[in-house]
Amino acid sequence: MLTRTRTFLLVGVAVALLIALWLILTQNCPSAGIALTGRARHLHRLKNRTALPQPADFDTRITLTELLKPGDDTNRWSTARAARIQGEVIDVEHAGPEATNCFSPWGRDIHILIATRKGASKSEHVVLEVTPPLRGWARQQGMDWTEKTLQAQLVGHWCEFEGWLNFDVGHAEESENISPGNPNNWRATAWEIHPITKITVLR
């Protein structure tokens, strides 16, 4: 009986320590997030970039139309470049907790879905993302990039977005360009602007 009690106590302490560690990480998540491999840490750091792109960083060839061009686009663009694109905002919604943000329930990315027109199917959507670090930066600049405010300000409007290019390998197989005709596709391409660094409502 004593051995069983001691085992339960040790398990309880271990669980409590893990929860405490997770809570600390969610409040102080590093740019590498939670990752077990060097590749994963690199991908997380790309998503959590905070440096604003400079004029020379922009790939001026990139437009929404170019991102939507069919075909395997894995190596079509570079994550070292930034983009400026315009489109109709279809929806704004929180992403789920993920390793990039230390699985924080309150530090989640915000997805902004854009397309060339209202009523476009999911396989014609391009995903843009506001990250927790850039949301905090925007707040310091007097801009409210919370989900509720962005929904109210952007949905149904034609907007321009700037930010760093990212290829979301975790969702590539759910994109029309990589898996054409897949009924589970919910995006046109795995290429994103992630993170967004500037938002402008045009009309």
pTM of the model: 0.88
Q: In the predicted model, is pLDDT for residue 17 greater than 60?
A: no
- Structure token digits, residue 117: 């027109």
Other beta carbons less than 10 A from residue 36's beta carbon: 8
Both tokens of 160, joined, read 């321009």
**34-64, pLDDT tens digit by residue?**
999 999 999 999 999 999 999 999 999 999 9
Q: Compute the distance between CA of residue 75 and CA of residue 187 in angstroms, rounded to an integer.
A: 17
Residue 3: what pLDDT?
Answer: 72
pLDDT at 2 over 80: no
Element (H, E) at 111: strand 110-115
Q: How far is CA 124 from CA 71, 120, 168, in A?
A: 13, 6, 16
Q: What are phi and psi of 161, to 5 degrees?
A: -130, 145
Confidence label for 28 from pLDDT (cuts 50, 70 and 90): confident
Sign (positive or negative) of CA dihedral 7, 9, 10, 14 = positive
Query: Alpha-carbon distance 165 to 163, whole Å?
Result: 7
What does the pLDDT average to over 88-110?
95
Q: So what CATH class is 45-201?
A: mainly beta
Task: Kindly list the domain boundaries of the chain, sorted by start residue.
Answer: 1-30, 45-201
Q: Name the token pair of 157.
A: 């409007």
pLDDT at 26 over 60: no
Which whole number is the average pLDDT over 65-93?
98
